[in-house]
Amino acid sequence: MATSNTMNYNAAVLNLFKKKSKSKPMTNKQILKTMPKGWMLLCKDGNMYDNRTDEELAEDEWNNDVYRKYELYKTHVHRFLTNITIDMLKENCNVDEINGYIETLFYNDDEEDEEHDEESYDEMDDYESDVSM
């Protein structure tokens, strides 16, 4: 009996270190789960399967929305500057005057706006305290 126990032990040790054959994924959905993030499975019936989590999908959607808004912002600012330049050229302004006017629009008004905003916040605080009485 001792020999049969040692044979089973030897077989068990050999099985521990034997490479097990990995089963290959059979269906397309199983293959999709093994692919890196970002892959999609498009079925013939029109269904789409994605291997990303809901958080990753929400983050990608947010990034796309930010990029779309940025592009819109760029086009609107470009149109605004083009219209200002055309209007000032019609009024016979030179390029230095146009550039100076644009700089005052974008850079010099910030300090005045901040002072105005602080004053309006102070007024709002007074108003809110009057209402709560």
List the chain domain ranges.
22-52
* Structure confidence at residue 94 (pLDDT): 92
Angle separating helix axes 54-90 and 95-103, nearest 10 degrees: 140
List the beta bridge partners of residue 50.
40
Whole-structure pTM value: 0.49
**Residue 41 in contact with residue 29, Cβ under 8 Å?**
yes
The angle subtended at Cα 117 by Cα 115 and Cα 132, nearest 5°, is: 130
The tens-digit pLDDT sequence of the chain (133 residues) is 455 555 688 888 877 777 776 777 688 888 888 888 888 889 899 898 888 888 998 999 999 999 999 999 999 999 999 999 999 999 999 999 999 999 998 887 556 556 666 666 666 665 565 555 4
